[in-house]
Structure 1
Amino acid sequence: MDWILDRLVPTYDFRSRYTRRIAASPEAVWAALHAVTAAELPVTRLLMGVRSAGRSRMSGPMAEVLSTNELGRQEGREAVGGIVAKFWRLRPAYGPEETADPAGFASFAEPGWAKAAMAFQLSPAGEDTLLATETRIRATDGASRRAFGRYWLLIRAGSGVIRFEFLRAIARRAESTR
């Protein structure tokens, strides 16, 4: 398949992918993806609060919160968000303004940074829908790759819990419309 994520981050240093088969149409899953709120994700709120040392208050649709800067969308099929940052810092530094644009994000290569993109991808599976969330990280040099690697060791399990909770909440919403 031709995924936006493959164009934005074709090669990566770190990756996680979680999937869930949902007993609902792609349209219902897409709607649920964009309707799930922070109130439905207590573990996610807790982990994000710990990560931000309480500075962040999550509200609104979670697809918008988690995807940060939208870098691409194929309506009903894929939504991709991403950010350039020094994630490993207690107070992360964020990349230049031009990295909020898909072309600027894809081409950014200044040493000392990591590019992270997260996609939600829907694929029909008979009468069901396969929903995947994939995160890819590409460091811009060896030092940032090592720094991100240490950070990834600390947060990977929590990141996975967030993805599982999000997929479960989307499935619950989408399947309730059947």
Structure 2
Amino acid sequence: MELLDIYLPHYHFRERHTLDIRATAAEIMAAVERYDSTQDRFVRAMTLLREMPQRLIWMLGDAPARNRPPFSLGNFTDLGTIPDKALALGLAGRFWKLDYGQETVPDAETFMRFEQPGAARLVLGFSATELGDGLTRLVTETRVQCLDAGALRQFRPYWYLIRPVSGLIRRRVLKGIKREVCSIQH
């Protein structure tokens, strides 16, 4: 995944999923850009479950953040696009914290320079490769780089806890994009 190699060539954790779709790369990447993870009931339920402890804390206190919308693809920073072929999204912070510990990274340059001790950087990428005979392979890959040993110690158990659900979510995202593409074709 070309963009991931630009934005996060070195990483500690990686998850990759693929799905072949009968459509052009351009059609698929347009569907990727339109995709809204909040429309998937399973994704919403898993996000609410992940956020439940923090939301309970907010409800018991008087925190203004308690009305914050659930985590979604909208939390990511757009890092870059190769038209009709690939896109990369980034996050930085301490993802294992109840509130995700997300840091502000407004653009790709800030993401690349982000090196805060105790934190991690994450890139989520999508790419589409035409295989011939009208078939295209859609790939989603997530890479995480822990920026120091402390972050690695904190992130590792979190990764092994969330990875199975994360994998289910990624596969649902791929299937949702396929449904979107197929519904437009017909």
Fold equivalence (TM over 0.5): yes
| Aligned with residue 166 of structure 2, among 155, 159, 164 | 159
State how far apart, in whole Å, the 1-side matches of 2:122 and 2:136 are.
25
Task: Give yes or no for contact 2:22–2:136 (8 Å, CA) kept in 1.
Answer: yes
CA deviation profile, 1:97-148 (whole Å, cap 9, x unmatched)? 4x33212212322210010110111111111111111100000101101110
Q: How many residues align?
A: 171
Q: Which residue of 1 aligns with 2:149?
A: 142
Q: Which residue of 1 aligns with 2:22?
A: 23
Residue 34 of structure 1: how far off its partner (Å): 2.5
Larger radius of gyration: 2
Q: Which residue of 2 aligns with 1:45?
A: 44
Residue 13 of structure 1: how far off its partner (Å): 0.3
Q: Which residue of 1 aligns with 2:100?
A: 92
Pairwise CA RMSD: 2.1
Which is helix-richer, 1 or 2? 2
TM-score calculated relative to the size of structure 1: 0.86
Structure 2: segments with no counterpart, 5+ residues:
56-65
State how far apart, in whole Å, the 2-side matches of 1:92 and 1:115 are.
12
Q: Which residue of 1 aligns with 2:81?
A: 73
The alignment status of 1:82 with 2:90, answered yes or no, reads yes
Q: Which residue of 2 aligns with 1:9?
A: 8
Task: Give yes or no for contact 1:111–1:141 (8 Å, CA) kept in 2.
Answer: yes
Q: Which residue of 1 aligns with 2:35?
A: 36
Report which stretch shifted further, 41-50 or 13-22: 41-50
State how far apart, in whole Å, the 2-side matches of 1:124 and 1:172 are.
18
SS at match of 1:93: coil
Residue 57 of structure 1: how far off its partner (Å): 4.2
TM-score calculated relative to the size of structure 2: 0.83
Task: Give yes or no for contact 2:118–2:148 (8 Å, CA) kept in 1.
Answer: yes
SS at match of 2:144: strand
SS at match of 2:130: strand
SS at match of 2:34: coil
State how far apart, in whole Å, the 1-side matches of 2:90 and 2:181 are.
25
Q: Which residue of 2 aligns with 1:124?
A: 130
CA deviation profile, 1:65-118 (whole Å, cap 9, x unmatched)? 3x71111111211111111111111122222x4x33212212322210010110
Q: Which residue of 1 aligns with 2:114?
A: 108
